[in-house]
Amino acid sequence: MTAPRQYEEAGLDDLDVEEALALAKEGGAQVPDGSGATGGSPAGPQPSPRGGNREPSPRDGSRTHGEHTADGTADGPSRAHTAEHGHHRATPWPEARALAGRAPRRPDAPVSVSLDAALGLVLAAPLAALTDLPSFDTSAMDGWAVAGPGPWAVRAEGVLAGHAEHERLTDGEAVRIATGARIPQDVTAVIRSEHGRTDEKERLHATREVVPGQDIRPRGQECRSGDPLLQRGTVVTPAVLGLAAAAGYDTVSALPRPRAEVLVLGDELLTEGLPHDGLIRDALGPMLPSWLRALGADVIAVRRLGDDAEALHKALRNSDADLVVTTGGTAAGPVDHVHPTLRRLGAELLVDGVKVRPGHPMLLARTKEKQHLVGLPGNPLAAVSGLLTLAEPLLRTLAGRAAPETYTLPLKETVHGHPYDTRLIPVVLREDRAVPLHYNGPAMLRGIAVADALAVVPPGGARPGQELEILDLPWATAGIGVCFT
């Protein structure tokens, strides 16, 4: 009996995938690197940090995510954007990502940014050379600049980098020269220090053949003034900063970093100490700002609002961020205030539930002309799923970044799937294979903490060797120091 059939026959479709997987005793992948993420099947159902945030199933009639269409009307999403099982409507995962990428109507206007503040931004205009590179003939090595055939009489005064042009040489003369120094006129070649020797009369002899022009970087070798160097849309990396500086720039025109605000909801959350008396530690408050920075946002505030509908309404009404991220409160429980608050504000609901596990009750809304809200589920791994499904493409568009090339890798071991929805599971990448990690339930972070990526598992699951789309985690490809700028 397949796992999905087990769920249906046992009447388990309305459990979250973590509970279903625990009951099905899904076998897990062994991690070959000793990361500590190996082990048996999940230990059992994990309690949701918020009772009202249990991820509704495709047959859970208590929650209808399709209350608004993409244009804000109340008739339900169009067939092009949604899929329906029973009373539940949700946007398919690929379409939800595409909708999020198209949601911003236009990025902010370009700004002039100093080089020391431009790392990670996207160029808003092409970069052309403001000077020849190099701007004069320079020595590529430490050694001697020589004129004509040898041996050569060595001048007493050498040529150093950063000094004014040295007087011209005549045939038979040489002068000591440093790397990067300006080549005197009429120099034939540069002899490296290790390829020459001087005799007792201070005459220079080459120990190998001298080729005219050797170890001289001629003016304009890399580019001439006005040559195009980088296209609009190029991400500013450390190398781009170096090239811009060398080409004569003090500032560049770039798209500003999107500004994000995090609103942490829930009266049950502790900011320190151990869980007690029904209270649990807040994992999302510490985690989300760094995730958002890794995705290219400038996090301007993290506010803890508890389960206070008026506080949420006031925070959204007064926010001037490009993106507001809320945690929890996206379902229909007694203290789930996100949907009622969005209706009260007249927000345009673009995505109301996504066919993905974990993270099913995530949402995307346009709250103001140039502001969007991503509502994340309260479970930590479900929130990560929401970030990569909705926040990442939206922030990418706001920042002017191109979509990354999609790629696939073969799966090392069997992964059970949800009967109807896409699954996102943490994996490590080993020898060109995706190795599934345990502890991948909605409330768990133990798997994602050692993961390189998330694998996109289609409905029904995947078998060993099957090619799955891979979503890289931002720090797995770019490095912590580059991502968190």
What percentage of the chain carries pLDDT values higher than 90? 63
Q: For position 335, what pLDDT does the model report? A: 86
Q: For position 126, what pLDDT does the model report? A: 95
Q: For position 34, what pLDDT does the model report? A: 35
| Mean pLDDT of the 431-447 span | 92
Residue 12 has pLDDT above 90, yes or no: no
pLDDT, tens only, 32-71: 333 333 333 333 333 333 333 333 333 333 333 333 333 3
Q: For position 165, what pLDDT does the model report? A: 75
Q: For position 358, what pLDDT does the model report? A: 95
Q: For position 277, what pLDDT does the model report? A: 87
Structure-token pair, residue 216:
């001289």
| Mean pLDDT of the 182-187 span | 92
Residue 350 has pLDDT above 50, yes or no: yes
Q: For position 267, what pLDDT does the model report? A: 76
Question: Distance between CA atoms of 158 and 169, rounded to whole angstroms?
Answer: 12
Question: Distance between CA atoms of 441 and 106, rounded to whole angstroms?
Answer: 36
Residue 6 has pLDDT above 60, yes or no: no
Name the residue with tokens 């296209």: 231
- Whose CA is closest to 358, among 124, 89, 13, 57? 57
Amino acid identity of residue 438, one-letter, is H
Report, in angstroms and rounded to the nearest whole number, the Rg of the chain calculated over CA atoms.
Answer: 30
Residue 337 has pLDDT above 70, yes or no: yes
Residue 263 has pLDDT above 80, yes or no: yes
The C-alpha torsion from 393 through 395 and 396 to 400, rounded to 10°, is 140
- The conformation of residue 248, written as its DSSP 8-state character, comes to T
Lowest mean pLDDT among 26-40, 380-394, 399-413: 26-40
Lowest mean pLDDT among 83-87, 184-188, 355-359: 83-87
Residue 117 has pLDDT above 70, yes or no: yes
Lowest mean pLDDT among 13-27, 28-42, 242-256, 417-431: 28-42
Contact criterion met (CB below 8 Å) for 290 and 161: no
Contact criterion met (CB below 8 Å) for 24 and 6: yes
Q: For position 200, what pLDDT does the model report? A: 86
Confidence of residue 484 (pLDDT cuts 50, 70, 90): very low
Name the residue with tokens 């080993």: 430
What percentage of the chain carries pLDDT values higher than 70? 80
Structure-token pair, residue 324:
């507001």
Q: For position 477, what pLDDT does the model report? A: 55
Provide the 3-class DSSP secondary structure of residue 239: helix
Lowest mean pLDDT among 36-40, 160-164, 265-269: 36-40
Question: Distance between CA atoms of 69 and 78, rounded to whole angstroms?
Answer: 7
Residue 78 has pLDDT above 50, yes or no: no
Q: For position 88, what pLDDT does the model report? A: 54
Question: Distance between CA atoms of 440 and 455, rounded to whole angstroms?
Answer: 11
Q: For position 275, what pLDDT does the model report? A: 84
Question: Distance between CA atoms of 149 and 25, rounded to whole angstroms?
Answer: 83
The C-alpha torsion from 444 through 449 and 455 to 458, rounded to 10°, is 0
- Whose CA is closest to 15, among 52, 51, 60? 60
Distances (CA, A) of 448 to 37, 135, 150, 287, 380: 9, 50, 67, 12, 10
Name the pTM for this structure: 0.75
Sign of torsion over alpha carbons 370, 263, 377, 391: positive
Q: For position 307, what pLDDT does the model report? A: 85
Give the ranges where 73-223 is alpha helix by DSSP (H): 93-102
SS3 labels along 118-131:
CCCCEECCCEECCC
Residue 25 has pLDDT above 70, yes or no: no
Residue 2 has pLDDT above 50, yes or no: no
The overall average pLDDT reported for the chain is 81
